[in-house]
Amino acid sequence: MVAIRMRGRLVRDDERRLVASAQKGDRAALTAIVRSREHDLYVSALAILRSSWDAQDAVQETLYELCAKLHSLRDLEKFDAWLSRILVRKCYDRLRRMGPERDAEDLRESSAHAFVGTERDDEVLEAVAVLPDDQRLAVVLRFFLDLSYADIEAATGWPSGTVKSRINRGLAHLRKKLRERSLGRDL
């Protein structure tokens, strides 16, 4: 699956060319960029917000801001980090508005997306969904959006030590949750 997804992504040089063309107002280039990123953006927003409707809105707002501000992006290599930063901000805004009392949606049931994974995938997504907000965000940025520590630092404003510790704590939590589930199934 990973290999298929990676093949679906554009090659770096092509990406830079596309972003440069989009900056000049090329609509076709913009569409190609959106198509190559929308899946990862949606899944990431879904994992952070745990609501398909909020995830859709957050991604649409992210794309809107992408268009409004793309002309200001100077370092094309940083496009993904830049785009992730927008998404994180949109998701943060929503998390704040939602408040602490909110239930995670069942990710299998949605009119916005189809669940095409295995039972293990479902368990993993569920375990991610119940992580504390900061750890969930760190794990999603690191493993769903493939950001480096430095990019996560830039996207969240967290100090570098905090980025690393939140990722590691998130992973430890996930392992514990998944181990418990696995034990429960075996009993």
Partner 1 sequence: MTCDEVRSALEAFIKGELPEHEGAEVIDHIESCPACTLEYEELTELVGSLRHARSAVRPLHSFDVTTLPIIKPRRRRRLLLAVAAALGVWTIFCTAALLWPSVGARVAFLRIGREAAPVSSVTRENGLQMLSLSKVPAAALVEALKSLSSGSGLALDSPSNQGLLSSKRVLVHVTRLGPVVEQTTNSLRLQATLDVVKAPGSAASSHQVQVVIALSRQRDGSWAVTRVVTLTP
Residue 116 Cβ vs partner 1, minimum distance, rounded to whole Å: 6
Would you tell me the crossing angle of helices 27-49 and 12-23 to the nearest 10 degrees? 110
Q: Are 156 and 88 in contact (CB under 8 A)?
A: yes
Q: Write down the least CB distance from residue 92 to partner 1, Å.
A: 20
Residue 21: both structure tokens together: 């063309």
Asked if 131 touches partner 1 (CB under 8 A), the answer is no
Is 40 one of the binding residues for partner 1 (CB under 8 A)? yes
Q: Alpha-carbon distance 128 to 93, whole Å?
A: 20
Residues 6+ apart with CB under 8 A from 141: 44, 84, 88, 147, 151, 152, 155, 156
Q: Verify binding: residue 149, partner 1, rule CB under 8 A.
A: yes
168 binds partner 1 (CB under 8 A): yes
Q: Which of 96, 132 has the CB closer to partner 1?
A: 132
Interaction between residue 72 and partner 1 (CB under 8 A): yes
Residues 6+ apart with CB under 8 A from 97: none
Nearest to 43 by CA among 33, 56, 30, 34: 56
Q: If binding means CB under 8 A, how many residues of this protein chain bind partner 1? A: 60
What is the smallest separation between the CB atom of 157 and partner 1, expressed in angstroms?
21
- Using an 8 Å Cβ cutoff, are 141 and 147 in contact? yes
Chosen residue from 49, 86, 87, 174 binding partner 1 by CB under 8 A: 174
Of 85, 79, 130, give the one whose Cα is nearest residue 106: 130
Q: Are 178 and 127 in contact (CB under 8 A)?
A: yes
186 lies in the site for partner 1, by CB under 8 A: no
Among positions 89-118, residues that touch partner 1 (CB under 8 A) are 107, 111-118
183 near partner 1 (CB under 8 A): no
Q: How far, in Å, CA of 118 to CA of 20, rounded?
A: 38
Binding site for partner 1 (CB under 8 A): 1-2, 4-5, 22-25, 27, 30-31, 34-35, 38-40, 42-44, 46-47, 56, 59-60, 63-64, 66-68, 70-72, 107, 111-118, 120-122, 124-125, 128, 139, 142-144, 148-149, 164, 167-168, 171, 174-175, 178
